[in-house]
Amino acid sequence: MASLYQSDRNKYECSCGAWDSLGLLYFCRHCSVTRCSSCVLVELDCFLCQNCLESAPVTEARLKKNRCFACNFCPFCATVLTKKTCVNSGNTFLSCGVCRWSTRDAGIPDQSKTTTDWPMPENPLSKRLNEISGHFKDLETREKARKEKDTTKRRTNFGGFDASKFSDRFGVQKMIQARKKAIETPASTVESHVATADVPALPDDVFESTAAIQLPLNVINKQPLVEETTLLPVRLPLKGRKAIRCRKCEHHLLKLDYSPNAINYKISAFARNTIPEIRLSRGVELVVGQQSSILLTLLNHSENGMQIILTPDADDSAFEIVTESIDITLSPLDAADVLLGAEESKYSAASSSSSSNIVFQRRNRVGIRLDLCPKVDFKCLPLSLKFKNIHTTAKLETSADWKMVKVRVGLDK
Amino acid sequence: MDLPLIVYSPEEYIETSTGNKVYKKASIYGSQNIVLSGKCVLQKDCILRGDLAPIRMGKFGIIGENSVIRPSFKNFINKGPQGSFIHVKIGDHVFIGKSCIIMAGQISSYCHIGDGAILGQSCVLKECCEVQAEAVIAPDSVFPPFSLIGGNPARVIGSTAPCTADMMIEATQEYYENFVPKTSARAALM
């Protein structure tokens, strides 16, 4: 997990120029570039309730105004309310496990076991709002019909003998009639708001009353139209599950299985499975002006061997490079090796042109020592990572190319 | 940063045939009701209350120092006034930090529970969830997969990385491998 390895310390450069930790990056094999959360297309896969984990299709979610009708949360502390049964009557009421608020406090009578119909706050302006939205829908239909009439090409033989004209087999006549009706019927009218000079004065106690101040801010946000005394349970909003596509080639980079609770991926293109991971082996203590060593671990999470050239970037001249570059071949990840506790991979072991910099080799990981001489105190080590992995391209016939990614290793404690 | 090497004294821990490493003086009650699927680490002074209800733990489960796992109690209308304790199911590759109190009904696989977190009675964590340190989860709460949970009372405050399952497998396996007795060859390298 990110917090166990403190993987937020190490940032990788995305193809769009943003920096993010490796766990949050994707690698598109079709474009052969890294993608981050800001350069992908996100689409909603399905909706599900966070509490009962029931999924809802898009149309149903829209009808329910993106709320689950079975689950409610507390108007005070936003914790999900639990249904409790009264021993004597067998009826149920909702209760909050944190602040102990219950529907009984709100004066709502207990409901039967199967009910999900808890009273919801009514908007006093709902009638007026419906009227206005109906009016705009009507205007939209008329405008659309008029536009269609202008753009549709007139048929030259329309007046001649045509069997389809009488039978209306393809619904053309029906469509024309509907359009005609939409244009000819007079537009609905709504009463427009009229400015008035007759504004009621503020009550005298408005600056002294503390009723509105006592409510927490999140309550006012959730139920702005209800008074303090009539707080009601709030329906839980649905959560959208995301699928991710590459912005350029629109291939899927991430797609979960069909089931809303699934954690297995149908398609997953994590950068972690293509790009080698760099971690600090242990804490670093650098002394300005003295040659120091930074111990790093390189890991290969892919299923193929990987050739890596690691070079420190000294653009900002915060340090003087002692180790120019390290060239290593990493073994692939083998789950069986881990379970059997094997020390070395059965694949060819890591080889290096600069073996003096290798501290340890263990399965798919290699520990390296990077020597440098700091000129000033710096908190971030810039590295260039060139790697060759067959997974970087979707084309089967081509051989792997060298790819490069820039990495910043955080040296803060 | 890499997980550190943790060296323990072989007199203090016992390693079972399935690879579980258990602190000898840990308070494990009702051991006939506790199932550890293998390669689990139960660290110093942790408490498992198997005498109340069965506790089942998947492989590569790590329980930190001073953590308590105790089944939750619930009153059921149909089962008379006494009520009963609910089984605790913990999935594979679950990491429970130090000084946690776990009264959950279910913790699915690849979950990470931070130090000092309190999981209320009968709560359910689905796969790949992360509970931040010192979070207090309300009783009977349910959290969907890939939730980042934090605060008191705990709420979903974000989502975990999509590759959390892979990361948790790696982390728990590395933690288990780095948890070595003084006599081992790896401890000698220190």
Residue spans of the domains in chain B: they are: 6-75+82-185
* Mean pLDDT score, A117-139: 84
Instruction: Indicate whether A402 belongs to any domain.
Output: yes
- How close does chain A come to B140, measured CA to CA in Å? 7
What does the alpha-carbon distance between residue A103 and residue B108 come to, in Å, rounded to a whole number? 32
Greater confidence (B80 vs B64) lies with B64
Burial of A392 (0-12, 13-18, 19+ CB in 10 A): buried
**A313 and A249 in a common domain:** no
Residue A262 with chain B: CB contacts under 8 Å = 145
Tens of pLDDT, residue by residue over A15-41, are 999 999 999 999 998 998 999 999 999
Asked if A87 lies within 8 A of B110 by C-beta distance, the reply is no
Q: Is A283 on the interface with B (CB under 8 A)?
A: yes
Q: Is A407 on the interface with B (CB under 8 A)?
A: no
Asked if A26 contacts A45 with a C-beta cutoff of 8 angstroms, the reply is no
**A214 and A98 in a common domain:** yes
- Packing angle, helices A126-151 and A172-184, rounded to 10: 120
**A226 and A80 in a common domain:** yes
- For the cut 80, the answer to whether the pLDDT of residue A336 exceeds it is no
- B186 φ, ψ (degrees, to nearest 5): -70, -35
Reported confidence tier of residue A331, pLDDT bands at 50, 70, 90: confident
**A329 and A253 in a common domain:** no
Dihedral sign from CA coordinates of B9, B10, B11, B12: positive
**A361 and A246 in a common domain:** no
Please report the ipTM that was assigned to this predicted complex: 0.90
Instruction: Indicate whether A330 belongs to any domain.
Output: yes
Instruction: Indicate whether A126 belongs to any domain.
Output: no
Q: Which of A60-74, A99-113, A327-341, B123-137 has the highest mean pLDDT?
A: B123-137
* Mean pLDDT score, B4-13: 91
pLDDT value at residue A162: 56
In total, how many domains does chain A have? Answer: 3
**Mean pLDDT score of chain A:** 82
Instruction: Indicate whether A383 belongs to any domain.
Output: yes
Which range marks the domain in which residue A264 is found? 26-67+235-269
Instruction: Indicate whether A109 belongs to any domain.
Output: yes
**A84 and A34 in a common domain:** no
- For the cut 60, the answer to whether the pLDDT of residue A164 exceeds it is no
Q: Considering only CB atoms, which residues of chain B are within 8 Å of chain A? A: 1-4, 77, 95, 110, 112, 114, 120, 126-128, 130, 132, 138-147, 153, 155-156, 160-168, 170-171, 173, 175, 177
**A226 and A325 in a common domain:** no
pLDDT value at residue B131: 96
pLDDT value at residue A218: 62
**A216 and A102 in a common domain:** yes
Task: Name which of B126, B130, B153 is nearest A3 (Cβ-Cβ).
Answer: B130
Instruction: Indicate whether A155 belongs to any domain.
Output: no
* Mean pLDDT score, A119-127: 79
Reported confidence tier of residue B163, pLDDT bands at 50, 70, 90: very high
**Mean pLDDT score of chain B:** 92
Nearest CA in chain A to B158: A239
**A339 and A405 in a common domain:** yes
* Mean pLDDT score, B92-109: 95
Asked if A23 lies within 8 A of B126 by C-beta distance, the reply is no
**A220 and A301 in a common domain:** no
Tokens of A247: 């912005």
Instruction: Indicate whether A6 belongs to any domain.
Output: no
Of the residues B163, B178, B186, the best mutation for testing chain A's interface (the one with the most A CB atoms within 10 Å of its CB) is: B163
**A89 and A56 in a common domain:** no
- How close does chain B come to A98, measured CA to CA in Å? 6
CATH 1.10.600.10 fits B6-75+82-185, yes or no: no
**A258 and A227 in a common domain:** no
What does the alpha-carbon distance between residue A302 and residue A333 come to, in Å, rounded to a whole number? 6
Greater confidence (A214 vs A75) lies with A75
Instruction: Indicate whether A125 belongs to any domain.
Output: no
* Mean pLDDT score, A346-360: 64
* Mean pLDDT score, B36-49: 94
Q: What is the DSSP string of A283-324?
A: -----TTS-EEEEEEEE--SSS-EEEEEEE--TT-SEEESS-
